[in-house]
């Protein structure tokens, strides 16, 4: 199948059926599979945005909220898509895709920390304190240094979420760790302020930058 300037194999096409509201009529729609769509987006997206899209495709869903148990793709599937005119860009993106990110902001922060020479953080894995007790899963953390990062988006302004955030911060402190809370202004200028704060806390807790 040829569509615009793209050649798509039968394996890269899936058929979905939509039921129109009201009349009950159904309509069949042919579309490319998610991994193939990710490949085609290499032409239009920056490398960081392509990585963020890949992170979304491989993340483990939350069945209670999303109605599915399996990720949309595996990292191996994305790596297999690194062909064609943008193969080098796709290989670079696939190499930096990680399982765990729940939002593009988490991917943006992870990439900024790595680019600044900080250790690569873990993504949404349980926080375990010195007492060995498993707690919540911070957005990002450096478990060896007891430092975690939470990005506070728009939804963190309501009363219920504020209470959860306070309980979470207390749990972090009880675990002997430090929590860095970030908001959108900390992500400007290539996340410069977020990098500064994370670097300072890591050094405070024993990390030694490479010279």
pLDDT value for 38: 95
pLDDT value for 2: 42
Q: Name the 3-class secondary structure at 1.
A: coil
What tokens were used for 66?
């999303």
For 4-82, list the strands marked E by DSSP.
6-7, 13-19, 26-32
Yes or no: say if 69 and 63 are a contact pair by the CB < 8 Å rule: yes
Q: Tokens 């400007």 appear where? A: 188
User: CA 81, CA 143: separation in Å to the nearest integer?
Assistant: 33
User: Which structural domains are found in the chain, ordered by start?
Assistant: 102-211 (3.40.960)
pLDDT value for 174: 80
What sign has the CA pseudo-torsion 151, 156, 157, 162? negative
Q: Tokens 């959108």 appear where? A: 184
Q: Which H/E stretch holds residue 181?
A: strand 178-182
pLDDT value for 11: 64
Query: In angstroms, how far is CA 155 from the centroid of its own chain?
Result: 18
Alpha carbon separation from 170 to 74, 178, 195 (Å, rounded): 36, 10, 23
Closest by Cα among 118, 104, 97 to 187? 104
pLDDT value for 163: 82
pLDDT value for 17: 56
The contacts of residue 71 (CB under 8 Å, 6+ apart) are 57, 58, 59, 60, 61, 99
**pLDDT tens profile 183-204:** 999 999 999 999 999 999 999 9
The ranges of the chain with pLDDT < 70 are 1-30, 154-157
Alpha carbon separation from 175 to 131, 180, 199, 210 (Å, rounded): 7, 14, 20, 28
């Amino acid at each position: 199948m040829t569509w615009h300037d793209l050649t798509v194999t039968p394996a890269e096409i899936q058929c979905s059926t939509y039921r129109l509201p009201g009349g009950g009529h159904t309509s069949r729609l042919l579309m490319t599979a998610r991994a193939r769509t990710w490949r085609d987006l290499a032409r239009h997206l920056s490398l960081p945005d392509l990585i963020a899209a890949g992170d979304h495709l491989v993340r483990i869903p939350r069945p209670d909220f999303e109605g599915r148990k399996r990720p949309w793709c595996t990292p191996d599937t994305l790596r297999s898509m690194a062909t064609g005119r943008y193969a080098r860009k796709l290989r670079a993106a696939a190499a930096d895709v990680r399982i765990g990110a729940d939002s593009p902001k988490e991917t943006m922060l992870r990439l900024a920390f790595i680019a600044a020479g900080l250790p690569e953080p873990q993504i949404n894995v349980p926080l375990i304190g010195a007492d060995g007790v498993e707690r919540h899963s911070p957005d990002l953390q450096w478990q060896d240094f007891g430092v975690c990062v939470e990005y506070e988006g728009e939804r963190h302004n309501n009363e219920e979420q504020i209470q959860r955030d306070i309980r979470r911060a207390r749990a972090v402190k009880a675990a002997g760790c430090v929590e860095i809370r970030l908001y959108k202004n900390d992500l400007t200028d290539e996340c410069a302020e977020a990098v500064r704060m994370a670097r300072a806390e890591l050094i405070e807790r024993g990390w030694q930058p490479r010279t």
